[in-house]
A and B are shown apart, each in its own frame.
Chain A
Amino acid sequence: MQLHPRYFGRNLRDNLVSKLMKDVEGTCSGRHGFVVAVTGIENIGKGLIRDGTGFVTFPVKYQCVVFRPFKGEILEAVVTMVNKMGFFAEAGPVQIFVSNHLIPDDMEFQSGDMPNYTTSDGSVKIQKDSEVRLKIIGTRVDATEIFCIGTIKDDFLGVINDPTTV
């Protein structure tokens, strides 16, 4: 953690901790996934002054909650957009796309004001803000985001909650 000299003083540790939280929360790494929140600081090491500038680098050990979806994992997500190619859902910071190839064949796309996927008898409907249970079949982590592909074609997957009845 690099700190500017203006922060040195009695609040150094607090400044360091708040800077850490600001910089790290919301970022993503390939190994650990998405950092949701910092829960505790384990240790702050001795600061090293950089040559040339007045910045000081502190090695900080901290604990945090991370979120990483895995292939094969079953997740619950909220639908954000429905179109003829499938629907997009999000589970926290993760964007999941379920293509219409992976939506059961008995669900058809209906366009209109509130585009949705509905079964032929109208009993099950997937539209914006519906909650669905889906299975992740592929993930990719990039610098700031995690992309996933999901499916609802297996047993026990699909709509959990109908937003119109809630």
Chain B
Amino acid sequence: MSVVTDSPVHSSGSDDFIDYLNEALDASSPNSSSDEEAENQDEFEDLSRNKRRKLESTEETEGSTSEGIVEQKLVVAESSVVKVDGCTHPGTFGKLCISCGEILDGESGVTFGYIHKGLRLHEEEISRLRNTEMNTFLFSKKLFLVLDLDHTLLNTTILGQLSSEELHLLNETDSLEAKGSLFKLEHMHMMTKLRPFVRTFLKEASAMFEMYIYTMGDRPYALEMAKLLDPQGEYFNAKVISRDDGTQKHQKGLDVVLGRDSAVLILDDTEHAWMKHKNNLILMERYHFFASSCRQFGFNCKSLAETKSDENETDGALAKILEVLKQVHCTFFEKLQGDLVDRDVRQVLSSVRGEILSGCVIIFSRINHLALPTLKRIAEQLGATCLTELDPTVTHVVATDAGTEKARWAVKEKKCLVHPRWIEAANYFWEKQPEENFFIKKTTTQS
């Protein structure tokens, strides 16, 4: 059978081709003579160039006959060659697509330099990874926790900024008193004090959360601090995000975290760094160990280092926040209904927060009008109801001066008269504070 190399490309041509293939396959069986085999082999090879052209028009495979299968295999071979050009470019490493190796100059996607230098992932790949991560972590009952460093887990000062009363610390870095919490970093000219309870906090939180560090410091600083907090590398390996890794200046975002927004909690002392993710944020009370830190925030009192004291370990901010985290974690996994993937940790957070001052009805009096909206918002988030007119249902009057009309009404009606710091304390400690600690000193004698 002769095979014409430029036969027209329509169905009759394909039938000829099938017959030819059939013959070629039969020819390769042991019964045929070697000459015939060689001849068929050569013709087969000659045709390989034209094969592709014909195949492209005979995409529809003909049934499940053996000829059809052979054709199908060839079609598949052809289409796999085409697939490389249709690569989805899930990400780049050093500007090369990680799937097909092409050079891509585009700027789409997010840089993940903290995982490895040069790595960049595009949106689809990031969502895919987030979803697979979700399943793994929800299965092992873990959520995500993003931790800030400065003033949250530790306090750092530059060696040159130590006050005269703090110089004794230079000798204390190796002593037992420091108990592995005070460190001098000669090569960076810095001294760091870890917040009391931080090691226990990390150990217990790691059982419930996959933890990330996210700081506004630069990468070398972030890595040094991670080494101090986590010498074995078990908590933060390849999960240290510094300001060099963020996508926006002066703002932190969850776009570089490989976890879905609905499963991430953030622990930070600065609210305005997380403008887009306020609902995930647990605000921490700032840790000021060094005088330079106090001065930075405008406090004129003596620092903890100067007075040779420290935050209480078992009763301090970290211990309290650990309790809150445990509560949120427990509520998320045990008490919420519905599919794990549909649950939202932000809802849990706001409901836990809303219980703190629930039942309190508050009226404000003589509060600085710039601070009033924030204070009102915090109180409402904590579950309190805020009124503007005096009413028998009012339970608390928040004022800065005991002499105002509302304040005097409160004392007369035996309602609680407290300073605004009572609301702030409730916000930081996640617990209604005893009102006696926040009574305002009377400025005029009461009759």
Contacts and interface: CB of A to CB of B under 8 A. Distances in A.
Interface of A: 71, 81, 83-86, 88, 95, 97, 99, 101-102, 111, 113, 136-140, 142, 145, 147-149
Contact of B133 (A84, A95, A142, A148): A84
Secondary structure of the B side of the interface?
Answer: loop
A140 B103 CA distance: 8
Contact of B132 (A83, A84, A86, A140): A84
Interface string B106-144: 000000000110110100000001001100100000000
Nearest to B121: A85
A99 B96 contact: no
Interface string B224-236: 0000000000100
A81 B90 CA distance: 19
A99 B89 CA distance: 11
Given A83-B238, A95-B118, A147 B129 contact: no
Contacts, number: 67
Nearest to A80: B116
B101 A71 contact: yes
B94 A145 contact: yes
Contacts of B136: 111
B206 to A, nearest CB: 13
B420 interface: no
21 contacts: A81-B116, A83-B115, A84-B133, A84-B258, A85-B121, A86-B98, A88-B116, A95-B94, A97-B98, A97-B118, A99-B93, A99-B99, A101-B98, A102-B98, A137-B100, A138-B97, A138-B103, A147-B93, A147-B95, A149-B97, A149-B98
A55 to B, nearest CB: 33
A149 B90 contact: no
A139 B119 CA distance: 14
A111 B212 CA distance: 16
Interface string B372-408: 0000000000000000000000000000000000000
A9 B408 CA distance: 95
A148 B94 CA distance: 8
Contacts of B119: 85, 97
A115 to B, nearest CB: 9
Contacts of B116: 81, 88, 97
Nearest to B84: A137
Contact of A138 (B102, B115, B132): B102
Contacts of A84: 129, 132-133, 258
B238 A138 contact: no
A81 B238 contact: yes
Nearest to B102: A138
Nearest to B112: A85
